[in-house]
Amino acid sequence: MKSMLFGLVLSFLSAVCLEAVEPLKVSVFSTILNEIAQKVGGDAVKSIGHVPVGADPHEFEPRPSDLKVVSSADVILLSAKHMEGYVGKLREVSGKGRVIEVGAQISSVWVEREAHSHGEGAKAEPHKHEKIEDPHWWHSVENMRKAVGVIRDEFSKLRPEHKALFGSNAAVYDKELVDLQQWAKRRIAELPRDRRKLVTSHEAFEYFAKDFGFKVFYVEGLTASDQPASKKVADLLETVQAQKVKAVFAQDSVNPKVLKEITSSTGAKLGGQLWADGLGTGDAATYDGMFRHNVNTLVEALK
C-alpha cells in the first residue's frame, strides 16, 4: 500500500514536471524527418510536417501559413543538400528557432551521368560527364541512423530535462533501423550481382545503389510529353537491351505510350512504383514500410 502511494506521488510529480516544460515546437520540411522527430521526441515534442505525403519536395514552396508556424518554432528540420531552395526564407522568419540542416551532416553521394547533346540532327558532341549531388540521403539506412543521432542531440540540447527520454526513444528507433538493414541485405542477396540494375527516371537512388551494389541507369527526365519516337526513348531502349535489364521503374507521370513501347520492344516489364521522395501511402506510410516496399519491389521485378 505504502509503495503504491509512493508510486502515485511519483507519477503525479513527474506529470507536473512534464507540464511545466512546454513541448518543443518542431517545424519539419520532410516526411522522413517528421517521422524521426516524432519517434525521438515522443510526447515532449510537437512536430509539424509542412510537406504533405505524396507532394513533390523538389517543387514544394512554403505557404504564408507555413512561415507563420516556422516563426514560432523552436527547431526547424531540413533535409538539406539543396532540397529546400527556400531555406533563406525560413531563416528570415525563424526568430529564435534553430534551423537544422540534417543532411548537411551526412556525406554526399554524387550522380555521375553522361550529358547528352540535345537537338535532333545536330552534330553529336562527344559525351561529357556531369556530377549532381543526390539529395535523397535517406535511402541509406546508415544515413537514417546518423540523422536520428543528430535530432536526438539537438532535442537534448534544447530540452536537457528530457535527455534520457530522447536517448531511449532514439535507441529503440535505432534498433528498428539496424533490423531493417539486416533484413534488406538478406532480401537483396536473393538478387545475383548482375541483376542489380535499376533503370529509372528520377535521380534518387545513389545512396541505395552504393549500399547494395546496384548500377543505376537514369533515363533523363522522361515525362508525360515524351513521345515513343523521341531520342530519349531510343536511348532508354538501347540501355535496357544492352544491359539485359528485366524491369524498368518509371514514374507514373510518364506517357503510357512510351511505357508500352518499352515493354513491347525490349521484353522488359514495368517494375512497379518506387518511393523516391519521402514517405508514401498504404504500406509505405512509415520509413520501415517505405524501405521494405522499395526493396521488395526491386527484388520481385529483377530476379
Instruction: Say how far apart CA 284 and CA 294 lie, in whole Å.
Output: 9
Residue (150 or 276) nearer to Zn ion, CB: 276
Q: Which stretch binds Zn ion (CB under 5 A): 14-22, 39-47, 98-106, 203-211?
A: 203-211
Residue 278 beta carbon to Zn ion: minimum distance, rounded to whole angstroms = 8
Q: Which stretch binds Zn ion (CB under 5 A): 13-21, 105-113, 270-278, 293-301?
A: 270-278
Three-state DSSP class for 64?
helix
Is residue 206 involved in binding Zn ion (CB under 5 A)? Answer: no
Q: Burial letters for 222-256: b for 16+ Cβ neighbours within 10 Å, e otherwise? A: beeebebeeebbebbbebbeeeebbbbbbbeebbe
Residue 174 beta carbon to Zn ion: minimum distance, rounded to whole angstroms = 25
Is residue 204 involved in binding Zn ion (CB under 5 A)? Answer: yes
Three-state DSSP class for 219?
coil
Residue (25 or 202) nearer to Zn ion, CB: 202
Rg (CA), the chain: 23
Residues 6+ apart with CB under 8 A from 191: 298, 299, 302, 303
Instruction: Say how far apart CA 233 and CA 113 lie, in whole Å.
Output: 16
Residue 224 beta carbon to Zn ion: minimum distance, rounded to whole angstroms = 17
Residue (166 or 205) nearer to Zn ion, CB: 205
Residue 164 beta carbon to Zn ion: minimum distance, rounded to whole angstroms = 36
Residue (18 or 87) nearer to Zn ion, CB: 87
Strands 110-115 and 98-101: unpaired
Helix, strand, coil share of the chain (percent; to 5): 50, 15, 35
Contact 241, 266 (CB under 8 A): yes
Contact 156, 167 (CB under 8 A): yes
Total of chain residues touching Zn ion, rule CB under 5 A:
3
Residue (32 or 76) nearer to Zn ion, CB: 32
Is residue 80 involved in binding Zn ion (CB under 5 A)? Answer: no
Query: What x/- string results for residues 13 through 52 when contact with Zn ion is judged by CB under 5 A?
Result: ----------------------------------------
Of the candidates 35, 154, 226, 277, which one interacts with Zn ion according to CB under 5 A? 277
Residue (173 or 291) nearer to Zn ion, CB: 291
Tell me the residue nearest to Zn ion as measured from the CB: 277
Three-state DSSP class for 157?
helix
Q: Which stretch binds Zn ion (CB under 5 A): 3-11, 47-55, 180-188, 197-205?
A: 197-205
Residue 117 beta carbon to Zn ion: minimum distance, rounded to whole angstroms = 25
Measure CA 265 to chain center.
33
Residue (41 or 135) nearer to Zn ion, CB: 135
Sites of contact with Zn ion (CB under 5 A): 204, 276-277
